Amino acid sequence: MNWRRLLWIAVLLPALDLQAAVRRVPQQFPTIQAALLAAVQGDTVLLAPGTYNESGLVAIAGIRFAGAGSIVDGGAGATILTIVGDGARVSGIVFRNGVQQLTIVGNDALVTACRFENTVAAVTLVGARPALRFSRFNNVIGGAFATLSGDDAWVTSNRFNVGSGGIIVTGNRSVVVANSAFGLGLNGGFVCVGDDACVVACRINVCAGMAIQMNGNRAIVERNRMQALAGSSAIAVAGDDYRINSNAIVRGLSAAATILVNQASPSGGGQIVGNILRDMAGPAMALNVSGAVVGRNRIARSGGPLQATVQVNGDGNFIAENSILDVPNDGIRLNGNANTIRSCTVARSLRDGFDLEAGLDNRIERCRASLCGADGLDNGATNTTARLNTLLGNGQDVGNDGSFLLFELNTFQTGGPGSPQSGD
């Protein structure tokens, strides 16, 4: 190929893009389907304002489908619009009724500034790099608000209002940011399946299922706000190298743990830092983790009568600067080896402040327990080191059915390293 031919290609490629047509409904085409049949890759089908009673619409190219608040009412039809092709764009459309409102199969799909109302399932995007932005969902009963299947998905600045399903994202490196949701059903809120996913700065109000569920490694759940959760955990993470930081969760009715972490491997610890949990009916945290940092969390009036407020099962965790107030069971309960609890406070627990239930070579340092109904420190583990703790005003300040490797510089009045546990 000589340089002249290369020059002609360089000139013609932009011209081909400029030839993409705008197919106007109803000015040029009487129906949406007629315009879709005429459209080719890159064309725009543009709807004038108004209501269009059509369903079963199909486009077999990556087109742009746009309107200015134009309503497409699918009635009782099974589907409203299906687009098959890369680079599809849908914007400014109100989808109403129907069973499955919008399906796009192809890479680089973008849905923006749309509304989805009164349906069973609203949006399905299949392909790499799908994006759902600035859209509104209302009354989606039976299926999911949105399902995105593909790597590098973006779900940003949407509102989901009243639905039985959730927002399901399957693929690596998904980003869910600045969304709000109200009135979610048993199938929960935001579900991410894949590695390197994040859910950040979202708001969830009234959810009967799991609010945020992450299945994969290196998950990030940060700066979310949740309240009035009824059915299950607020945050559930299964995987390694997670970050669950700076979330605020209040008023939960579920007996399940508010934050539930099941770490995949012993060396895959992450962070659970700076969270606020208040007025939860179930335990605040159930952590099956090793090598994790659990720090600076603030917990009040949370927990059930049969479960510890914070339950940690695993080895080598660093649990520091947590505050736990007014709880019906043990403040922190630990099962595992070589863990450190440092500078934590438990006050007004109806049972133990700190319960080292089992394990070997654990340390508790500079902690405070006061006004707990049973033991301030209940040691059932072996070779525990306890230093510089203040344990005062409890049913019994120190109880020990295990053994201490070192017990020094602690402030307490009742019980001691030779006293049995109080039998709580």
Q: Say if strands 354-358 and 243-245 run parallel, antiparallel, or are unpaired.
A: unpaired
Mean pLDDT of 301-318: 92
At residue 187, the pLDDT reads: 73
Mean pLDDT for the stretch of residues 67-91 = 95
Give the sign of the dihedral formed by CA 9, CA 11, CA 13, CA 16: negative
Q: If you average pLDDT over residues 288-303, what whole number do you get?
A: 96
Cα separation of 331 and 328, whole Å? 9
- The candidate with the shortest Cα–Cα distance to 135, out of 166, 101, 159, is 159
* Mean pLDDT within 373-383: 96
Say which range, 106-120, 243-257, 335-349, has the weakest mean pLDDT. 243-257
pLDDT at position 403, please? 96
CA dihedral in degrees (159, 297, 370, 399; nearest 10)? 120
From the candidate CATH numbers 3.40.50, 2.160.20, 2.60.120, 1.10.10, the one assigned to the domain spanning 330-424: 2.160.20
Q: Which of helix, strand or coil describes residue 212?
A: strand
Per-residue model confidence as pLDDT tens digits over 163-174: 988 899 999 999
State the DSSP code for 246.
S
CA distance 55 to 75: 8
pLDDT in tens, 176-191: 999 998 888 767 799 9
Give dist(CA 419, CA 204) in Å, integer: 47
pLDDT of residue 209: 84
Query: pLDDT category, 200, cuts 50, 70, 90?
Result: very high
Are the beta carbons of 141 and 122 closer than 8 angstroms? no
Q: Are 64 and 88 in contact (CB under 8 A)?
A: yes
pLDDT at 6: 34
Q: Which pTM does this prediction carry? A: 0.91
Three-state secondary-structure class, residue 288: strand
Distance CA 226, CA 279 (A): 12
Residue 91 is classified by DSSP as E
Which sequence spans correspond to the domains of the chain?
A: 330-424
Query: What backbone phi and psi angles, to 5 degrees, belong to 329?
Result: -140, -170
As to burial, measured by CB atoms within 10 angstroms (0-12 exposed, 13-18 middle, 19+ buried), residue 105 is middle
